[in-house]
Amino acid sequence: MNDNAQFVPTTEGNEIPSFQTTWSAPSNIALVKYWGKKELQIPCNPSVSFTLDQCRTTTSVRFERLKDNLDHLSLALQYDGKPVPSFEPKVKTFIDRILPYAPYLKEYHLLIDTINSFPHSSGIASSASAMSALAAAIMDLEKQIYPSLTAEDQIKKCSFLARLGSGSSARSVEGPLVLWGEHTATPDSSDLFGVRLTKAADVFKTYHDTILLVDKGQKEVSSTIGHNLMHNHPFAENRFTQAKAHYQALLTILEMGDMDGFNDLVEREALSLHAMMLTSSPSYILMHPNTIQIIQEVRRYRKTTGLNLTFTLDAGANVHLLYPAHEAEKIDQFIASDMRKYCQDNELIYDRVGTGLKKV
């Protein structure tokens, strides 16, 4: 399955003049976490996420055909119509990396305009949704050049390209549940792109995710640094083994609709991710006191009410509260009355599980 060559175009395609397209891609929240990678975004363990619905990036790309092929990239980047040269190096690195798989990009000047649905400074990483929206626009151009490209191959390559920009972005193309990373329990799984998990019980297809914005600032240690600290980490191999076992267990939990199993596994995954940060060298702490307060209250609430409220964490202080749609009315009341106070400026985002990319 780890065959990059399948993504290199081998035939001459149509000559497409200037072309414009707009795509919206969601963020995602991992249930089994990706933490630790090899060269070119090959994950050290499989990860699974819920695709979100409301937290999205919308990206328009105008591909202007050049008179001569350039040997370098030509692009301009805007955020909501305003130039943002500071974002350009990251996008250039991404496009340079995908050029072997999308060589036709050298024939165009790219004018990229992007906007996030969530506030710019919300502590929510936008790289997953941003890279997947951009990859989707590029794959739309590829479809014009190679009209025989099937919808299935278009999606697969979109996830493949997005992964080269930001690993977790491979999981932001489809929904509601996506696996990225090889595992023997799922024969079509791959380290190169995400695949949908199709056998989950219905309850997991309408899950809610309310994001408590404990800290809206930039996190102190980036994910790139965090992934790197997994090299030479004393617990790295055990962590990768644990994540593989968790994936296998999660498959059964999802299929059986096992809510207790889900709550237990998802929380242990979140805390394992942060345990890696606490025990790396140098060590660091991204949770805030309010993160811990929320965790304690969520556990207390679940115990006293029997309702299936659980939490997960990304690489930051914010908390994702996960709960089934049929319990949302009561849990939303609890969140409004007891959880808002832990959020910076009382801000939170009500989101739920979604289906992935949308052409605008």
- Where on the chain is the footprint of ligand PMV (CB under 6 A)? 30, 33-35, 47, 125, 127, 166-168, 223, 227, 273, 314-315
User: Between residues 30 and 353, which has the closer beta carbon with respect to ligand PMV?
Assistant: 30
Tell me: cis bond preceding 187? Omega within 30 of 0 counts.
no
Nearer to ligand PMV, 59 or 168 (CB): 168
For the bound state, the minimum distance from the C-beta of residue 140 to ligand PMV, rounded and expressed in Å, comes to 23
47/272 with CB nearer ligand PMV:
47
| Residue with Cβ nearer ligand PMV (33 or 239) | 33
Q: Would you list the DSSP string of 137-180? A: HHHHHHHHHSTT--HHHHHHHHHHHHHHH-GGGGGSSB-SEEEE
Q: CB-wise, 315 or 357, nearer to ligand PMV?
A: 315
For the chain, count helices (H), then strands (E): 8, 14
Specify the residue, 24 or 166, whose C-beta has the smaller distance to ligand PMV: 166
Considering the complex, what minimum distance in angstroms separates the CB of residue 16 from ligand PMV?
Answer: 31
Q: How far is the CB of 15 from ligand PMV (least distance, A)?
A: 35
In the complex, minimum distance from the CB of residue 43 to ligand PMV, in angstroms, rounded to a whole number: 8
Q: Judged by CB, which is closer to ligand PMV: 97, or 109?
A: 97
How far is 64 from 107, CA to CA, in rounded Å?
8
CB of 293 to ligand PMV, least distance (A): 21
Which residue number, 143 or 320, has a Cβ lying nearer to ligand PMV? 320
Amino acid at 353: V
Q: Return d(Cα 143, Cα 149) in angstroms, integer.
A: 6
Looking up tokens 């679940």 gives 302
**β strands within the chain, DSSP E:** 19-32, 37-38, 42-43, 47-65, 74-79, 82-83, 108-116, 177-180, 194-196, 208-212, 310-313, 319-323, 348-352, 358-359
* Rounded Cα distance, 280 and 19, in Å: 47
8 A C-beta contact, residue 298 and residue 305: no
Least distance to ligand PMV from the beta carbon of 35, Å?
A: 6
Helix axes 259-278, 236-256, angle to 10 degrees: 160
Shortest distance in whole angstroms from residue 153 CB to ligand PMV: 23
- For residues 164 and 98, is the Cβ–Cβ distance under 8 A? yes
**Please, what is the minimum distance in Å from the beta carbon of residue 131 to ligand PMV?**
9
- Rounded to whole angstroms, the Cα distance separating 356 from 349 reads 18
Rg (CA), the chain: 20
